[in-house]
Structure 1
Amino acid sequence: MAVKMSHGKFTALNACSNEQGVIAALAVDHRLNLLQAIAEARGARATVQDLQTFKATVTRVLSPYASALLLDPEYGLEAITSCAPSTAVMLAYEKSGYTGEAGDRLPDLLPAWSVRRLVEAGARAIKILLYYNPRDHADVNARKQAYIERVGAECAALDIPFFLEPLVYDHTVGGSQGLAFARQKPAYVTEVIAEFGQPRYGVDVLKVELPINPAFVAGTRAFTGDTAAYTRRQALTYLREATLAATLPLIYLSAGVSDAAFCEMLELAAEAGARFAGVLCGRATWQGGIPIYAQQGQEALTDWLAEHGARNIQTINRVVVASATGWWDVYGGRDAIEIV
């Protein structure tokens, strides 16, 4: 049976991907964490102008290598004019950070924006980041689920794709980069993929974490040498099982790991037979430019990006093109989609 999709969403998803339907997107929607990183590298205060300059510079130099570019409307709108004409612009809709009682991590939207206004600003797709623990209290998760349902309905009304980025966590087991959470992560990511793939949420693409923490995969170059959370064979199984839970196109985020570690994990996913439709990564590509900009300025950042940033994104792109499949493959192929 053919999957029905609106003309606007179908066209915009194609605009965000290459001719094979693979999404090779670049994220530059970082806000408070980027501001803090620039300040720490400089040893002095960073400003809104620093954010705008950094985003515009990354956009100008690296967007020609990306099928889509993710920015934020708070500090990234000026960068849109620097974006390559062939690269689709995606805009974030959520506030940076979260609110609520300790551990709840409740989301909120940017108060001066709506999906309509983001579309008017140039968005071809909308992105929401959501911190989510699939085993949290039912009332907490009900609030988050309703929040996503509202955004999904708003995107449907404007006929624009909705990219959801659910980041899993569990504050009861320590930090998200620790061994205890690494052992829980495969189940959490798989459960989140299954939950938000339901039609009620109106999500079109899930931007997900790898279900494994590269630093804890024994037998890989990314392994730090500390206690392993998984063998290489187990990692292959977890990667495959997570994508089997998907009813929507999945793309991976880099979660701040190095480009080398991220590429190795993408190759591992391909070896596992895990079906994914591409990537939307940022820091793996440009984070090395932060101290360059903070200490030497925009011109030095431009030079660094032209050499190192461009090499990073092209390296990731080569792995993505070799490993990913078209976003429509989860539906049985492009011809299996009925445009309505």
Structure 2
Amino acid sequence: MSNEAKVQISRGKFEGIQACADKDGIIAAVAMDQRGALKKLMEQTRKGSATDAMLTIFKQKVAKVLTRHASAVLLDPEYGLPALQERASGTGALLAYEKTGYDANATGRLPDLLPVWSARRLVEAGATAVKILLYYHPFDDERIKDIKHAFIERVGDECRALDVPFFLEPLVYDDRYDEKSLEFARLRPAYVRATIEEFSQPRYGVDVLKVEVPINVAYLEGSRAFKGGVSAYNYKDALDHFRAAATAAQKPLLYLSGGVDDVVFRETLQMAAEAGALFNGVLCGRATWKGGVPVLVEHGPEALEEWLSDQGVKNVQALNEVLKQCAHPWYTVYGGLENIKIVERA
């Protein structure tokens, strides 16, 4: 194949994505950018308030222990910067750029950026990649979608200018339904696929998509997460949904754990592989470390480090074994490393 036909990737973006991947091109990253969700987990344990110091300590311990077995870590600049210094040598660092949560009183779950941060400042703080979480309804009012599309275009342009990878995490929703409901479970496959299609477009400048699996496994009969009652899909349907969503991706594709238990997440990844979904790794958070939250709250930092060194590491190692069998290198979507031409930026 001639050089003209090769996929062109700028050197900074190529090296940034490689820095977040392991030696085999698989992105096996620990997600530790939770802010509001982590506070809630701590408060549920303590039945009181969680301090900023508790969040920072938790992130530091997770980064210190679990990045020894991960290719990268995702953190936030609000509480997570001290944890960057604790990560294992050679581990990639993603930093979140968005404010946590959204204004529940406004229509459309509109995104916002951290006010004292820019992509440039995140890179200066040590980020090898910039990450944005976006709540997205692909069949929403066009006015709402236009706001979100322009928002992602702006971030994409910032990352292009800095030659740094842009990881986008779109979370689908529909305000008519609870996200854990049967009704939304039936809509989710189409919503995830349409969202992947949208943000695979070059205009957004997204380099890696971090997405939800296209089904809610709690409504898949026979799965570990199935609670009984009415199901939303049978096993064949589920495999079809995985295949369709992954086929829509024109960018490297990572799955997020979405807060499910580690054994459920591993089963889900195996299902994706059985479907032939060419995913490229994970950004896995609560599935690996959420069991450590009550340990920190009730017994302190040293006990948390002990828990992470035992159960936390076991969770990550078990996930890594599944990735070895099921995931594909991030450059697979481009036809392999030999089909990529690295372009020097002026």
TM-score, normalised on structure 2?
A: 0.96
C-alpha distance after superposition, 1:296-315 (max 9, x if no partner): 11111111111111000111
- Any runs of at least 4 consecutive aligned residues in structure 1 with deviations exceeding 6 A, and if so which? none
- Mapped pair 1:130 → 2:160: no
Whole-Å Cα distance in 2 between the matches of residues 324 and 233 of structure 1? Answer: 21
* Kept after mapping to 2: 8 A contact 1:100/1:106: no
Whole-Å Cα distance in 2 between the matches of residues 219 and 237 of structure 1? Answer: 16
Q: Which residue of 1 aligns with 2:82?
A: 78
C-alpha distance after superposition, 1:72-96 (max 9, x if no partner): 0000001111110121111000000
**1:102 Cα offset (Å):** 4.6
Whole-Å Cα distance in 1 between the matches of residues 224 and 40 of structure 2? Answer: 29
- Mapped pair 1:233 → 2:236: yes
Q: Which residue of 2 aligns with 1:215?
A: 218
Whole-Å Cα distance in 1 between the matches of residues 261 and 293 of structure 2? Answer: 14
Q: Which residue of 2 aligns with 1:21?
A: 25
- Mapped pair 1:32 → 2:43: no
C-alpha distance after superposition, 1:99-145 (max 9, x if no partner): 37555100000010001100000000000000000011000010000
- Mapped pair 1:48 → 2:52: yes
Q: Which residue of 2 aligns with 1:114?
A: 118
C-alpha distance after superposition, 1:214-266 (max 9, x if no partner): 11111222222221100011000000000111100100000000000000010
* Kept after mapping to 2: 8 A contact 1:103/1:171: no
* Kept after mapping to 2: 8 A contact 1:182/1:216: yes
Which runs of no fewer than 5 residues in structure 1 stay unpaired?
none
Whole-Å Cα distance in 2 between the matches of residues 241 and 39 of structure 1? Answer: 39
- Mapped pair 1:179 → 2:176: no
Of residues 203, 206, 214, the one that matches 2:206 is 203
Q: Which residue of 2 aligns with 1:293?
A: 296
Whole-Å Cα distance in 1 between the matches of residues 106 and 187 of structure 2? Answer: 20
Cα gap change, 1:249/1:229 in structure 2, threshold over 3 Å: closer, same or farther?
Answer: same
- Mapped pair 1:309 → 2:323: no
Q: Which residue of 2 aligns with 1:243?
A: 246
CA RMSD of aligned residues (A): 0.9
- Mapped pair 1:325 → 2:328: yes
Whole-Å Cα distance in 1 between the matches of residues 293 and 199 of structure 2? Answer: 34
Whole-Å Cα distance in 2 between the matches of residues 217 and 257 of structure 1? Answer: 14
TM alignment of 1:68-107, pairs within 5 A: 68-99=72-103, 101-107=105-111
**1:64 Cα offset (Å):** 0.7
Which runs of no fewer than 5 residues in structure 2 stay unpaired?
none
SS at 2:135 equivalent: strand
Letter in 1 for 2:269: L
Q: Which residue of 1 aligns with 2:342?
A: 339
TM-score, normalised on structure 1?
A: 0.98
Of residues 137, 154, 158, the one that matches 2:158 is 154
* Kept after mapping to 2: 8 A contact 1:64/1:86: no
**1:19 Cα offset (Å):** 1.5
